[in-house]
Amino acid sequence: MVCGVFDPLISFYCHRTVRGQEHLDGLDAPVLFVANHASHADTPVLLRSLPPRWRRRTAVAAAADYFYAKQHLAVSVSLAFGTIPLERRGGGLDEDATAHLRRLIDDRWSLVVYAEGTRSRDGSVGKLRTGAAVLAATYGLPIVPVHTAGTHVAMPTGRRWMERPSRLSRHPISVTFGAPIRATPQDDRFEVMEQVRLFLEQQGARTTPDPKLARRRAARAGADAAASDGAGGGEAA
């Protein structure tokens, strides 16, 4: 449905440029596509930017409190984008959604996750949540970072649909895929998401570093220094 309905509509309003698809060439499904989120246009734009073999088997994690609060909206987004509900208030996935996700992964479906958990109000990238890193480590999935630019201007928060800048011009939109990031249960989830943030920043996005990461790094440095001092003291004795 995305290709049949949304692609010609988006193409009418936007000129899309896709970069970094070569990073997908050596990967096998499933993967986590972890992206910034600035517009409701992000999902159809991102899905349409995937190579066909990926697009056909990629679902989207959608905010349960927004898209699943009303049945007609839940049915619409599920049919259009193959969504699964994701709680944004610390609840993660409920039992039904977890079972559904497990089946999707077992069937080699990939998943789009918006790292901020909500849309940006001004187009910048907010603090990244760590749920994507936890999912990647839990299910052994590589993270493919994705940066989408231009959608906020084309369809900002509060606008129901896109408008052309003028009769003869379209909004420039770009989608950039990054090199895969591997996450294991032993990895610090904040460090994993910092790699995603740095990728987004390298693409020109204004990002928000997570203050918890600096505190965790300082705590680790302190622990390492204490351990080193303890080891040195033992040798001297």
CA gap 20, 18 in Å, rounded: 7
Q: Token pair for residue 215?
A: 């505190």
Average pLDDT of the residues in 206-227: 89
Residue pLDDT, tens place only, 90-107: 444 556 667 778 888 999
The tokens describing 9, both together, are: 């509509």
Q: Which residue from 204, 175, 163 is spatially nearest to 16, judged by alpha carbons? A: 175
% the chain with pLDDT above 70: 80
Q: How far apart are CA 86 and CA 66, in angstroms?
A: 10
DSSP state of 25: T
d(CA 47, CA 52): 9
pLDDT tens track for 67-97: 333 443 333 334 344 455 554 444 445 566 6
pTM strictly above 0.95: no
Would you tell me how many other CB atoms lie within 10 Å of the CB of residue 199? Answer: 24
- C-alpha closest to that of 214 among 145, 127, 124: 127
Token pair recorded at residue 159: 């606008």
Summarize pLDDT for 119-163 with one digit per residue, the tens. Answer: 899 999 999 999 899 999 999 999 999 999 999 999 988 888 888
pLDDT tens digit sequence for 11-70: 898 999 999 999 999 899 999 999 999 998 999 899 999 999 999 899 888 644 333 334
Domain boundaries along the sequence of the chain: 2-209
Residue-wise pLDDT tens digits, 166-196? 989 999 999 999 999 999 999 999 999 999 9
Between CA 30 and CA 208 the distance in angstroms is 28
What local confidence, expressed as pLDDT, does residue 97 receive? 61
Residue with tokens 């839990």: 138
- Per-residue model confidence (pLDDT) at position 82: 44
Stated length of the chain: 237
